[in-house]
Structures are given as C-alpha cells and as structure tokens.
Amino acid sequence: MKALEKFMQKVKPKSDGKFPIAHAVWDGTYTFLFVPGHTNKNGVHIRDSVDLKRTMIIVVLALIPCLLFGIYNVGHQHFLAIGDCLSSDHVCDLFMDKFLFGAMKVLPLVIISYGVGLGVEFVFAAINRHPIQEGFLVSGMLIPLIVPVDIPWAMLAVAVVFAVILGKEVFGGTGMNVLNVALVTRAFLFFAYPTKMSGDKVWTNTDLAEGEHLIDMYSGATPMGNAANGVMEKMPSLMELVVGFIPGSIGETSVIAIGLGAILLLFTGIASWRIMLSTFIGGYVMCLIFNAAAGDNLFMAMSPVHQLAMGGFAFGLVFMATDPVTGTQTNSGKWVYGILIGILAILIRVANPAYPEGMMLAILIGNVCAPLIDHVVINSNIKKRIKRVKTA
C-alpha cells in the first residue's frame, strides 16, 4: 500500500492545470483508496477513518448479498424457462451454469450504471472544480438491482444521465438532492419506456440459443403482476417469497438477502431503525385495513406478512427509504416519514392497478414530504420550549 500511495502522489496532476477533470479523477481514486490527509479549515479539526466514502462503501457491501443472489436467480429463471431446470425445487441444479449466465447478464448493467454515472460526476467535478462526490457509489449499485434483467443498455444509460443531472447535480450534488437518485432512474424508465418495465416478458431473460425453446405454459409474470391481474392461484408461498427464487427486479426478490444487508446497516448505525420499523408498521396497518374491507377481493384479503414479503417493499424499506439525504432528519419525523411510506406503498399497490408496485412512488412522495415533516417537528419543538420558558 505504501508503494501504491507513493505512485499516486507521483502522478498527481495539478488542480489548477489545463485538464481539471484529470485532477478530479485522481482525487476520487486517491480518496477511495486512502483516508484523506487533510483536516477541515473552519476551526473544527476532526479526522476519522469512517468518512463519507467509507460510509457509502459499507452500504455497497450491504448490497452484495442482493447482487449475488440476483445474479444466480437470473440464471435460475432462464434455465427454468427453457426447461433445463425441472422446477423451482431444483435450485442447485446447474449451479455454475446459472451463476455464470446471470453474471453475463447482470454485470454489464452494473458497469454501465457506474461508468455512465461516474462519468457525469467527473464532468461536473471538473466544471465546478470540486472533488468527486461520493454519493453515486451507492446509487450506482442500487440502479441495476431495481431494474429488469432485460432492460436495454442504451435506455439504462440515458436514465442514469437523466437521474444524476436532474435528480442530483441541479440541486448542488451529493447531500443536496431532494429525491433518491436510484428511484429517479427507475421512475424515468417506468414512464419513458413502460413496455420495458412492466409485463411478463421483461423479468426473465429468454434469449434462446440454437436448439433452445421455451417450455409450454411458461410465464415470466412476477407475483405482483399476477396479484394485480387477479391470478391468485399462481401466487408463490410465503417461503418462496422469502427465499426469492421468483421473477422480479434483479436484487429485490430475496427477503433473506435483503435482511443480511439490513443487519449490517443497523449494526454499523448507518441506516435508521426508526424508518425501517415505522415503514413496516405503516405497511402492516394498511394491509389490516384492506383485510377488513376485502370482501371477495383476494388481493386485499392477502395476509399482511405475505403482502409485505412480496415485490420491492422489503428492498425499498431497507436501502432507499433510509437514505439519509432524502429522508427526514428528526427522530420524530422519521416515524411519520416511515409510516407515510408504508401506508402509501400498500395503498398504491392494491388500489391502483396501473402501478402494481407502489414502493417506488411511495418513497418518492415521502422524499418530497420529508422537509415539510422536519419543519413541522422542529417548529413544534420550538413552541413547546417557548411555552416551558414562559411557564417557568
């Protein structure tokens, strides 16, 4: 590491040189590898190995179980579709073939997400002559995990450019954005290319090699798609939803993999347990309300645990509702914020057939409401303190 640091210092370009983007790239690489050797200039001198980059890297590590499971599940669903894997009970058949096939489909999406997103970050860093911002380390991993496996690469690249520029940079960059960048990417894809983000054909790769063919009666519909269409007899069991060998977005299908990431985020204190718990409570309460008014509607009558294990609810609860930039900052506000997201997610999912997965819109609405929630909480605290002073 000493030799690497010495080499990095040797090739360090001038910050005021003719090519500011070169310094931006060097600075981003150096601070990714090593703890910065400078302190603040405002009189508060704090040096800590856990800076913003290290915090972001911990979140990326928390996403690794979802990535690895998603890679394998992409291969599993493909071989299931062409009949080489007899059923979902034979998940370990052709293990390496499934994993390698999934890697060939998923890793290009990760490379495009990081390559395009960081490219935009480098350009803005060079134009504004500031260091590379670290926020896209997480967004770059989230984006490929919340899209279908067969999303065209060009569409993904356009969506990433749109989200980074209009979702973050126009607000001032990392720490200033109002909306979660990964969800802005998904929303852009959903509204700009709806046929590539919905339906039965986008969730499972069905590219056929010579001699391959889809098995009879094959359907690549997700559990959410079946539920929205009233096809409840094809609904996976609770155990199948928890394990995750079902069609869906790359990283959102396995509650177990998501739970492993949640444990790391909670253990390190990076994610707010208040937001996670309150989002779960909000969703659970909304499910109970629908259960009470279900009548003959089987989707509304679905048990709360089954409902919350389905779709992107768990993934959004753990990795996107807890975004410290776009979420609420006050402790009381986090409870209101989480409950709002949980209620809206189930409400949109069940009551609006146009949006069978409501978590995306619920979190974006929560992002917009977060500043107002904090404002109300802070003003309420101020009034209480003034009242106590007057009473004293």
Question: What is the Rg, in whole angstroms, of the alpha carbon atoms belonging to the chain?
Answer: 23
Instruction: Give residue 361's pLDDT.
Output: 93
- Buried/exposed code over 171-192 (b: 16+ C-beta within 10 A; e: otherwise): eebbeebbbbbbbbbbbbbbee
Instruction: Give residue 123's pLDDT.
Output: 83
For the domain made up of 52-213+222-378, the CATH class stated in words is mainly alpha
Instruction: Give residue 202's pLDDT.
Output: 80
* Closest to 358 (Cα-Cα) out of 337, 339, 340, 344: 344
The packing angle between helices 153-167 and 95-128, to 10°, is: 40
Written as six digits, the tokens of 104 are 């060939």
User: Is pLDDT above 80 for 230?
Assistant: no
8 Å CB contact between 186 and 194? no
Instruction: Give residue 26's pLDDT.
Output: 63
Q: What are the tens digits of pLDDT across the range 292-336? A: 998 888 888 899 999 999 989 999 999 999 998 899 999 999 999
Q: What share of the chain is helix, strand, coil (3-state, %, to 5)?
A: 65, 0, 35
CA dihedral 198, 204, 208, 214 (to 10 degrees): -90
Burial of 48 (0-12, 13-18, 19+ CB in 10 A): exposed
Query: If you ran DSSP here, which 8-state letter would residue 177 be given?
Result: -
Query: If you ran DSSP here, which 8-state letter would residue 196 be given?
Result: G
Q: Tell me which H or E stretch contains 43.
A: none
Domain residue limits, the chain: 52-213+222-378
CA distance 303 to 288: 8
Instruction: Give residue 212's pLDDT.
Output: 61
Q: Tell me which H or E stretch contains 323.
A: none
8 Å CB contact between 314 and 258? yes
User: Is pLDDT above 90 for 112?
Assistant: yes
Instruction: Give residue 388's pLDDT.
Output: 85
Q: pLDDT band at 236, cuts 50/70/90?
A: confident
Query: If you ran DSSP here, which 8-state letter would residue 389 be given?
Result: H
Q: Where are the beta strands (DSSP E) in the chain?
A: none
Q: What are the tens digits of pLDDT across the range 203-226? A: 887 776 555 666 655 566 787 777
Instruction: Give residue 173's pLDDT.
Output: 76
Q: What are the tens digits of pLDDT across the range 152-162? A: 999 999 999 99
Least confidently predicted of 120-129, 178-187, 241-250: 120-129
8 Å CB contact between 109 and 151? yes
Written as six digits, the tokens of 87 are 């059923």
Least confidently predicted of 83-87, 147-151, 186-190, 339-343: 83-87
CA pseudo-torsion sign 41, 42, 45, 47: negative
* Closest to 159 (Cα-Cα) out of 131, 191, 132: 191
Least confidently predicted of 93-107, 122-136, 192-206: 122-136
Instruction: Give residue 226's pLDDT.
Output: 75
Chain Cα centroid distance, residue 238: 23
**Helix, coil or strand: residue 295:** coil
8 Å CB contact between 334 and 278? yes
* Closest to 221 (Cα-Cα) out of 204, 244, 206: 204
Instruction: Give residue 215's pLDDT.
Output: 63
Q: What are the tens digits of pLDDT across the range 2-52? A: 777 776 676 676 665 555 666 566 666 666 566 655 554 544 444 455 556
CA distance 185 to 120: 14
Q: Tell me which H or E stretch contains 107.
A: helix 95-128
8 Å CB contact between 31 and 131? yes
Q: What are the tens digits of pLDDT across the range 252-283? A: 999 999 999 999 999 999 999 999 999 999 99
Instruction: Give residue 44's pLDDT.
Output: 45
Phi, psi (rounded to 5 degrees) for 186? -65, -40
Instruction: Give residue 45's pLDDT.
Output: 45
Please state the pTM of the whole predicted model.
0.85
CA distance 202 to 248: 9
Written as six digits, the tokens of 148 are 């279908």
Instruction: Give residue 39's pLDDT.
Output: 52
Q: 338 Cβ partners below 8 Å, 6+ apart?
A: 274, 275, 276, 277, 278, 279, 280, 281, 282, 321
Q: What are the tens digits of pLDDT across the range 60-104? A: 999 999 999 999 999 988 888 887 766 556 677 788 999 999 999
